[in-house]
A and B are shown apart, each in its own frame.
Chain A
Amino acid sequence: MREDQIKSILTDLNGRSASIEASALISKDGLVLTSALPGQMDEDRVSAMVAALLSLGDRTAAELSCGQLEQTLVTGSHGHILIVHAGPQAVLCAIANKTAKLGLLFLDVKYAAQAAAALLQ
């Protein structure tokens, strides 16, 4: 039931913009909680790397006195990976193509993360 609700949050997120191609909710230890990733992506690999990225982001923000980490954005030549906390135990990752409007992407992912965090409490 709860998994279905979280899954629907990710499905809604992916449907909000054509630029959002995939998303996943991942535990801080890198385990997939639920995902809406294209079949060709290895969700185990993606989830471990995403959790590691957010952990590094946390430490980097603290080390450089930037306060609490809000998000980690990785931009490649073909698109973006946005990673945000979804409560204390989970991480929301969204993958968007290069056409994404970053402001909208940040907002959509933030709201989805808040909704997922509420369900995980």
Chain B
Amino acid sequence: MQVDDQDPNLSTFCQVGGLSRQDQHIMAKVAVYIRPLLPLLTDRFYEVLAEEPSIRPYIEGRVEHLKKTHVVWLNSLFAGDYGPEFIQRQEKIGETHVRVRVPPLFVAASMAFLRGALPPVLAANIPNAQDAIAATASLLRLLDLCQYLIDRKYAEVLMDNLGISPALLVRLQTVGKGTTAKTL
């Protein structure tokens, strides 16, 4: 991983999560087997979304556009380049979700779908079993990374809209939940 030294939280994520250059290598290596299958996976994904009443209003009338965007994003997971541009793309998604009012639930649910749907695709289509196992582990780490980056930016933008600085947000998150004695 090309981790920004100025981003200690991301460094921690990569360190604990085990993201490394090995992930870049294996994802780029297996991309040739998986990329042709990604549009089909996106179709399945949007079929599932369309069946969910709470999500349908967010996608109605623009499914084809969203599918194209989703396939591009899925392809980026197999690009083997997870440097600053990759990170910025995830953050852009978080910013966009605040603007168009897509709640974090949808990101979590979408990632859960992919965590379930993609590993069997990798297992069935990567000829070398060891590569398939390694790529599955890398993919799951990358999905977690994407969710972290999207959700982090979502929270940052939302708080910024409310005038809450990152430092104040940390204070609000870390102060105890005990009752302040005085009742006003």
Cβ-defined partner of B172 (8 Å) among A22, A38, A49, A81: A49
- Interface readout for B158-184 with A: 1 if CB under 8 Å, 0 if not? 000111110110011001101011111
Least CB separation from A38: chain B residue:
B182
Best-surrounded residue of A45, A56, A76, A79 (most CB of chain B within 10 A): A45
Chain B residues near A40 (CB-CB < 8 A) = 181-182
A87 at the interface (CB under 8 A from B): no
Cβ-defined partner of A52 (8 Å) among B161, B168, B181, B184: B168
A71 to B114, CA, bound (A): 48
- 6 A-B pairs with CB atoms under 8 Å apart are A21-B182, A29-B165, A40-B182, A42-B175, A45-B176, A76-B183
13 new A-B pairs (CB below 8 Å) besides A45-B178, A55-B164? A22-B182, A28-B168, A38-B182, A44-B176, A47-B171, A48-B175, A51-B168, A52-B164, A52-B172, A55-B165, A56-B164, A59-B162, A78-B184
Give the residues from 5 to 63 in chain A that come closer than 8 angstroms, CB to CB, to chain B.
Answer: 21-22, 28-31, 38, 40-42, 44-49, 51-52, 55-56, 58-59
Chain A residues near B162 (CB-CB < 8 A) = 55-56, 59
Q: What is the minimal beta-carbon distance from A9 to any residue of chain B, in angstroms?
A: 22
- Interface readout for A76-97 with B: 1 if CB under 8 Å, 0 if not? 1111110000000000000100
- A: residues with CB less than 8 A from B are 21-22, 28-31, 38, 40-42, 44-49, 51-52, 55-56, 58-59, 74, 76-81, 95
Given A55-B168, A56-B163, is A79 in contact with B184 using a C-beta cutoff of 8 Å? yes
| Nearest 5 A/B pairs, CB to CB | A76-B184, A40-B181, A55-B163, A30-B171, A29-B167
**A-B contacts, CB under 8 A, total:** 69
- B: residues with CB less than 8 A from A are 161-165, 167-168, 171-172, 175-176, 178, 180-184
Q: What is the minimal beta-carbon distance from A69 to any residue of chain B, in angstroms?
A: 10
Q: What is the minimal beta-carbon distance from A39 to any residue of chain B, in angstroms?
A: 9
Chain A residues near B181 (CB-CB < 8 A) = 38, 40-42
A38 to B180, CA, bound (A): 11
A55 to B182, CA, bound (A): 23
Least CB separation from A81: chain B residue:
B184
Least CB separation from A46: chain B residue:
B180
Chain A residues near B167 (CB-CB < 8 A) = 29-30
Chain B residues near A74 (CB-CB < 8 A) = 184
